[in-house]
Amino acid sequence: EQATEAISILDTKNELKTKLQDISSQLKNGEINKNEYDLILEDINNQFETNNKKLNDIKVEANKKLLQDDLRISNEAISKIRGLSKPKIYKTAEGFLKALNARSKKQYTLDEVKNIDGTVVGKEILINETVAAENNAVTVGSHELLHAIVKSSITGEIRKVKDVDGKTVETDLTVEGAALIKDFLNELSSKEKKIVQKRIDDNYRYNKNKKGEIVSEKAFEQYAEEYLNSYADAAIKNEL
């Protein structure tokens, strides 16, 4: 139904573009005067504005549905991580602002959150649904959201760890963060773990040379956060 309406609106806009060209020619040929041209032009512009608003409304509603689907996927991953709560979705910017200010030391204004589609406060995930839909940020619930959770919840100051060869390397993953990821992995089924581990092995686990050949294995702490992102990506593609 939305697709049919969108096509109809686009057809109308094309007709308006043709009409705009026609009145320009009529003015040039003296078939209409400047006052008549201005009146017709104003009407065409008003119709353009109305149709653009209708198209945007359709886009926002469609994106809201996609966002809900995406959040359902991310909830599966989040539910496996102890201490993290499922995203709280706020239908309006005002509701999002009130929730954010109730949890934050800084008190934000409505203008300051008008472009924020989602944020993480402590271990709570807040989603500004309308802004996310308007900005096409329909994946705010999956890869990027999980990445934000990781960065805000389980990373901290740079520390040194040993890789599998005993070499000292740096990581910003906290001790607690590493334990959380291991808890997450323990919650996965054997099928899920196999699929996620393949993504990790193919993309994150090893240091490789320019030819793509494995040179050495990284420390777990250097790539652990990618387990969450890999899980979300696999879930989105219905691979789990």
Q: What's the average model confidence in pLDDT over 221-225?
A: 91
Q: What is the pLDDT of residues 80-138, one digit of tens each?
A: 665 566 778 888 889 999 999 998 888 999 988 888 877 777 667 788 888 877 766 55
Q: What integer pLDDT is reported at residue 225 of this predicted model?
A: 84
Q: What is the pLDDT of residues 26-46, one digit of tens each?
A: 999 999 999 999 999 999 999
124-128/88-90 β-pairing: parallel
DSSP string, 162-227: E-TTS-EEEEEE-HHHHHHHHHHHHHS-HHHHHHHHHHHHHHTSEEE-TTS-EEEEPPHHHHTTHH
| Distance of alpha carbon 55 from the chain centroid | 21
Q: Is the pLDDT of residue 21 over 90?
A: yes
Q: What is the mean pLDDT of the chain?
A: 83
Q: Tell me the whole-structure pTM to 2 decimals.
A: 0.48
* pLDDT above 70 coverage of the chain, percent: 82
| Res. 152 pLDDT band, cuts 50 70 90 | low
Neighbours of 53 (CB within 10 A): 11
| Distance of alpha carbon 184 from the chain centroid | 22
Q: Can you tell me the distance from the alpha carbon of 163 to that of 218, in angstroms, rounded to the nearest whole number?
A: 6
Looking at this protein, which amino acid is placed at residue 96? F
Contact call for residues 9 and 55 (beta carbons, < 8 A): yes
